[in-house]
Amino acid sequence: MEETRLLTDSREDLIYAANLIKSGKVVGIPTETVYGLGADASNPDAVKAVFAAKGRPADNPLIVHICSITTVKILAHDVPELFYRLAEKFWPGPLTMIVPKNKIVPYETSGGLETVGIRMPSHPVMRELIAMSGPIAAPSANISGYPSPTTAQHVLKDMNGKIPAIIDGGVCNFGVESTVICFDDRHTVRILRPGSITKEMLEEIADKVIVDSAIINDIQDGQKAMSPGMKYKHYSPAADVVIVEGDIESFCRFVGENNSDGCFCLVPDGDSEYRIPCSYRTYGADSRQQAHNLFARLRELDEMGARKVFVRPPSKDGVGLAVYNRLLRAAGFEVISL
């Protein structure tokens, strides 16, 4: 057990963090999506330490974070022209693109795959850090399976004593992880994980955008996941999360009939006008706010001792699809339609 130091975003602290990363250590890092656990992307032992700290299955690849477009050529080959057009539009920002990897990316980082997911984050602290340390491999900084962290305090709760340092860069702006895409062919993009860069936004650049079926359907036994992360239970608090679809009157009736000790509801802001017969929390008025708040609310509900959480889902378009996808996994695909 080592002591975990909370660092500021001062130049001095960032140099300290960059040196930790260069020497093969793991550091908690702020990004505009969620907090990450960062390590030198080219160092297999450093990357293994990330998997150990999280308890993450070894076949679930890490995203490599860069701060300059010229790094793409070092990490990957056969990069389609469409990749660069998307990068021009959406980088720096919450878009991860999967392409064939070069040898410099170890299999530890790629989860044994021949491909690598690359992203250029926009968070100024993260960019400054990468400029000093080189490409950083980073998954979300939660214990595997638990809701992603959106503050340095969330990271401290999950990682205290497991990593040497966490940089506090404030609350994450988007609150859900990046949109992950791969290329079916030179003109076609496939969304493997929805995020704040939506299908509609990608369609402004790509001829064709496919939403992979695993985004809202459970992977069946024997079915191969295009994105290994999709086959694991994810984002789950200790409480049992259940999505309840239907109008607000039916929802209130259902909750009234099924209310028990430790039961809470999580609802969009507008629903608080109705008489919900159970303790409840709200998670935002629109999809962007809901994305920003979702993981923090799930963590708060655990702290409040929730045992069951009935959730009124968001809309399923735009950024709402990202929120719905995280909720579905948090609920282990348990959906009740009224």
Euclidean distance between CA atoms 165 and 249, whole angstroms: 48
In terms of CB distance, is 40 or 177 closer to ligand AMP? 177
Per-residue x/- marks for ligand AMP, 242-261, CB under 6 A? --------------------
Does residue 193 belong to the site contacting ligand AMP (CB under 6 A)? yes
User: Residue 237 binds what, of Mg ion, ligand AMP, none (CB under 5 to 8 Å, by partner type)?
Assistant: none
Quote the least distance from Cβ 221 to Mg ion, whole Å. Answer: 23
Euclidean distance between CA atoms 264 and 284, whole angstroms: 16
DSSP-assigned letters across all residues of 303-318: HTT-SEEEE----SST
Does residue 228 belong to the site contacting ligand AMP (CB under 6 A)? yes
Does residue 177 belong to the site contacting ligand AMP (CB under 6 A)? yes
Quote the least distance from Cβ 128 to ligand AMP, whole Å. Answer: 21
Quote the least distance from Cβ 290 to ligand AMP, whole Å. Answer: 19
In terms of CB distance, is 99 or 201 closer to ligand AMP? 99
Euclidean distance between CA atoms 29 and 186, whole angstroms: 33
Q: Which residue is nearest to ligand AMP (CB)?
A: 229
Euclidean distance between CA atoms 65 and 140, whole angstroms: 12
User: Residue 117 binds what, of ligand AMP, Mg ion, none (CB under 5 to 8 Å, by partner type)?
Assistant: ligand AMP
DSSP-assigned letters across all residues of 143-196: PTTSPPP-SHHHHHHHHTTTSSEEE---S-SS-SPPEEEEEEETTEEEEEE--S
CA 115: distance to chain centroid? 19
Residue 148's closest CA among 180, 111, 178, 112? 178
User: Residue 28 binds what, of ligand AMP, Mg ion, none (CB under 5 to 8 Å, by partner type)?
Assistant: none
User: Residue 291 binds what, of Mg ion, ligand AMP, none (CB under 5 to 8 Å, by partner type)?
Assistant: none
Quote the least distance from Cβ 267 to ligand AMP, whole Å. Answer: 27
Residue type at 2?
Answer: E
| Residue 314 contacts residue 324 (beta carbons within 8 Å) | yes
Quote the least distance from Cβ 230 to ligand AMP, whole Å. Answer: 6
Residue 29's closest CA among 48, 12, 13? 13
Only one residue has tokens 């469409």, namely 82
Question: What are the residues binding Mg ion (CB under 5 A)?
Answer: 140
Does residue 93 belong to the site contacting ligand AMP (CB under 6 A)? no
Strand 136-138 relative to strand 188-193: parallel, antiparallel, unpaired?
unpaired
Quote the least distance from Cβ 182 to ligand AMP, whole Å. Answer: 7
Which one of the spans 22-30, 59-67, 254-262, 319-327 is the region binding ligand AMP (CB under 6 A)? 59-67
| Residue 108 contacts residue 137 (beta carbons within 8 Å) | no
# binding residues, ligand AMP (CB under 6 A) = 19
Euclidean distance between CA atoms 95 and 82, whole angstroms: 13
Quote the least distance from Cβ 89 to ligand AMP, whole Å. Answer: 20
Euclidean distance between CA atoms 274 and 270, whole angstroms: 8
User: Residue 268 binds what, of Mg ion, ligand AMP, none (CB under 5 to 8 Å, by partner type)?
Assistant: none
Residue type at 96?
Answer: T
3-state secondary structure of 124: helix
| Residue 6 contacts residue 144 (beta carbons within 8 Å) | no
Which one of the spans 1-9, 20-28, 61-69, 281-289 is the region binding ligand AMP (CB under 6 A)? 61-69
Does residue 63 belong to the site contacting ligand AMP (CB under 6 A)? yes
Quote the least distance from Cβ 193 to ligand AMP, whole Å. Answer: 6
Does residue 62 belong to the site contacting ligand AMP (CB under 6 A)? yes
| Residue 79 half-sphere exposure toward CB, CA atoms < 13 A | 21
Query: Which of 4, 227, 282, 287 forms a contact with ligand AMP (CB under 6 A)?
Result: 227
Q: Interface residues with ligand AMP (CB under 6 A)?
A: 60-63, 98, 110, 113, 115-117, 139-140, 177, 180, 192-193, 227-229
